[in-house]
A and B are shown apart, each in its own frame.
Chain A
Amino acid sequence: MVPSVPKAMAEQLTQRQLIAGAQSGSREALEKLLDLYEDRVFALAQRMVGPAEAEDAAQEALIQICSSIGGFRGRSDLSTWVYRVTVNVCLQHRRRRNPEVTPLEDDALERQADPDADPAAAIDRNQLKSRVDAAIDALPEVYRDVVVLHELMGLTYRECAAVLECPVGTVKSRLSSAFVKLRELLRDSVSEGEVAI
């Protein structure tokens, strides 16, 4: 839900005070910043590296955020900076896990993403999550990242581009392709479910 303007302004003001507090070494300010971002950083990490590594990645990202808050100069929004740090940490986790995967074109990344897996079947297997939730996890990484940042974290296209360090046009085309893919995944899972019944 979009906050009302005065509330958003008040939040921004509080964030500025918190940043200033954290930069002057206040532990209380740091705790409050963690209150704001801890869950979101964990959610982003869980989507990017999976539940098994999420806690480690979130911990590493949060330590990095707290340790380098002194160097934050306010050129971008604090949330953009926090997500950028988290995304970088998660990308390092992915590289460690799959060192042979190098950033290529979107299509190539899509082909490389787990060729044996059947995403529709994975959605059905995962009974604990909603179908939409499971479909997000079944997306190729390159599409999942942008869907998570835009739809779940609420970043604009420009902010997504800043976090992922790519042009805004790339964000736009990836989101469009991601949605086409999501719809296919959801349709496949429904039709397979009907056949099974």
Chain B
Amino acid sequence: MNCQRTQQEIKAYIDGELGVVTRFRLSRHLARCAGCRKEMDEMTDLTNQLRNVPGPHAPRGLRDKVMAGIDADSTRTSRPRRLLRTGAAVAAALLGTMLLAAVMFPVFFRAREASRHSEALRNEKMMGAPFGQPAEPGAADSAPQAAPKRAEEGGMGLLVIKTADVYVEVRSFSDANDRAISIAKSVGGYVTDSSAEAVEDTPTSGELTIRVPVDAFERVVEQFGKLGVVKSKAITGEDVTGEVVDLESRIRNKRAEERQYLDIMNRARSITDVVTVSNELYRVRAEIEQAQGRLKYLRSASAMATVNLTLEEKAKMKPAAAGSVIYNSFTGATASLKSTLSVFGVIAVWMVVYSPLWAVPVGIWVYGRRKRVAADARQ
């Protein structure tokens, strides 16, 4: 993990809101980076200061105003009058449904049989298609949306946002990185974020954030695990079915409210009415847009799962076993011999290069000495 990424994550680290893998990577970076440690100390200090800011007390008259503003009956879940009205409406709806069912049942039964038949045919086609290949043109494009759609149509209707944090130790970072990308592509996934780090004396490592169709999620996580040795793995799932159902019904209700306001707007006579109603319309539409945005996000997040993959090259092992005295002495002596020989080599080269300077005096000296020795012998 680099300094820039660390500083983005440091606040979540202090708040204990990081996943197990990111927390581990960040703490490892902090252990060797003084700058980021200083940043963390400052952020921790600021967090503590903020949490000690005293909150104000509500003004004295507020409680009375609130209690006066509440309709005594409005807090109840069930209200007798409404219950009566709702009961009558439900009874009428039941009667209507029964009548409709009696008329529509034979039609529905035939349609269901036809649908089962075509579903069986489609399944046969899918089973015949090779792995990773779409069974029919365009099937690959619609794959991410297909899973939640089926879930909603089926009885279970579960929508889960799945996330995996996987940390794998690999032999070669670049090979594992390429393989991880090709695994993601083979299931219709894609890489949203990637970073690599190469520091002197430390192994090359990198992080990939990958989105894959939810159907292929578990298979992909398993394949990522085979890239090397899995050091840690955490899978989380957030069930958002309830929230999606809530949002859908909220949007339906707000649409009905919007229609009512439009109807009132058409009948408005004074400017005050028009302004009041347009304010309400503005509010309702803003709420609808907000709910639709959230719904869209939840659907796309549950259709595509996220895998945060960390790949780290295994540190090169030293050949000598620590503590082996004989081996250490042997390698020490060998290294010493090598350096001694290299010193002699260097001296030899210098001697050759400087030979014009020393060869002539030495030659004269040797010649003179021989002459003196010969003269002594003659005497």
B197 on interface, CB distance cutoff 8 Å = no
For A156, the chain B residues whose CB sits under 8 A away are 17
Q: Is the CB of B53 within 8 A of A152?
A: yes
Q: How far is the CB of A44 from chain B (nearest CB, A)?
A: 9
Check if A25 sits within 8 Å of B50, measured CB to CB.
no
A148 vs B74: C-alpha distance when bound (angstroms)? 30
Closest A residue to B247 using CB positions: A165
Taking a contact as CB atoms under 8 Å apart, the answer to whether A59 and B56 are in contact is no
Smallest CB separation, B305 vs chain A (Å) = 15
CB of A112, distance to nearest CB on chain B (Å): 17
Decide: B77 and A62 in contact? CB cutoff 8 A. Answer: no
| Interface pick from A9-17, A113-121, A129-137 | A129-137
A66–B66 touching, CB < 8 Å? yes
**In residues 129-151 of chain A, which contact B (Cβ within 8 Å)?**
130, 132-133, 136, 147, 150-151
Q: Which residue of the partner chain B has the closest CB to A167?
A: B297
Cross-chain contact A165 with B290 (CB below 8 angstroms): yes
User: Mostly helix, strand, loop or mixed at chain B's interface?
Assistant: helix
Total cross-chain contacts (CB, 8 A): 129
Q: Is the CB of A43 within 8 A of B56?
A: yes
Contact B53 A133 (CB under 8 A): yes
The answer to whether B15 has its CB under 8 Å from any CB of chain A is: yes
Q: Select A182's contact among B10, B46, B57, B290, beta carbons within 8 Å.
A: B46
B12 touches A132 (CB 8 A): no
The DSSP consensus for interface residues of chain A is helix
Contact B50 A147 (CB under 8 A): yes
Produce 1/0 per residue, A51-86, CB < 8 A to B: 000010011001100111111000100000000000
CB of B282 within 8 A of chain A?
Answer: yes
Asked whether A179 lies within 8 Å of B72 as measured between CB atoms, the reply is: no
Q: How far is the CB of A58 from chain B (nearest CB, A)?
A: 6
B65 contact set on A, CB distance < 8 A: 59
Q: Which of A38, A132, A133 contacts B62 (CB 8 A)?
A: A38
Q: How many Å lie between the Cα of A59 and that of B65 in the bound state?
A: 7
**In the complex the two chains form, is B69's CB within 8 Å of A63's CB?**
yes
**CA of A186 to CA of B53, assembled, Å:** 15
Contact of B51 among A22, A40, A151 (CB under 8 A): A151
The answer to whether A176 and B70 have CB atoms under 8 Å apart is no
Q: Is A165 within 8 A of B279, CB to CB?
A: no
A166: chain B residues within 8 A (beta carbon)? 294
Say yes or no: B58 contacts A176, CB within 8 Å.
Answer: no
Cα distance A173–B291 when bound, in Å? 21
Given contacts A151-B47, A172-B12, are A42 and B56 in contact (CB under 8 A)?
Answer: yes
A38-B58, A43-B56, A62-B66 known; A176-B12 Cβ under 8 A: yes
Q: Is the CB of A38 within 8 A of B63?
A: yes
Does A92 interact with chain B (Cβ within 8 Å)? yes
Per-position binary interface string of chain B over residues 260-294, scored 1 when its CB falls under 8 Å from any chain A CB and 0 otherwise = 00000000000000000001001100110011011
Task: Known A39-B58, A150-B15, A172-B12; judge A25-B53 contact (CB<8 A).
Answer: no
Give Cα A30 to B70, complex, Å: 10
Q: With the chains together, A155 CA to B243 CA distance in Å?
A: 19
Q: Does B49 sit at the interface, judged by CB under 8 A?
A: yes
Among B122-156, those with CB < 8 Å from A are none
Q: Are A63 and B17 in contact (CB under 8 A)?
A: no
With A42-B56, A42-B58 known to touch, is A172 a contact of B17 (CB < 8 Å)? yes
> Could you tell me if B8 and A173 are in contact, using CB atoms closer than 8 angstroms?
yes
In the complex, are the beta carbons of B17 and A157 less than 8 A apart?
yes
A43 contacts which chain B residues (CB < 8 A)? 55-56
Q: A88 — nearest CB in chain B belongs to which residue?
A: B287
Is B43 located at the chain interface by the 8 A CB criterion? yes
A25 touching B59, Cβ below 8 Å: no
Chain B residues positioned under 8 Å from A42 (CB to CB) = 56-59, 62
> Is the CB–CB distance between B55 and A152 below 8 Å?
yes
Can you give 29 A-B contacts (C-beta < 8 A)? A23-B75, A24-B76, A27-B72, A30-B67, A38-B62, A42-B56, A43-B55, A59-B62, A59-B65, A59-B69, A69-B75, A70-B76, A70-B77, A70-B78, A95-B283, A132-B49, A132-B50, A132-B53, A136-B53, A147-B50, A151-B47, A152-B51, A156-B17, A165-B293, A173-B8, A175-B11, A176-B10, A176-B11, A179-B11
Closest CB pairs A-B (n = 7): A42-B58, A43-B55, A70-B77, A63-B69, A151-B50, A67-B74, A62-B66
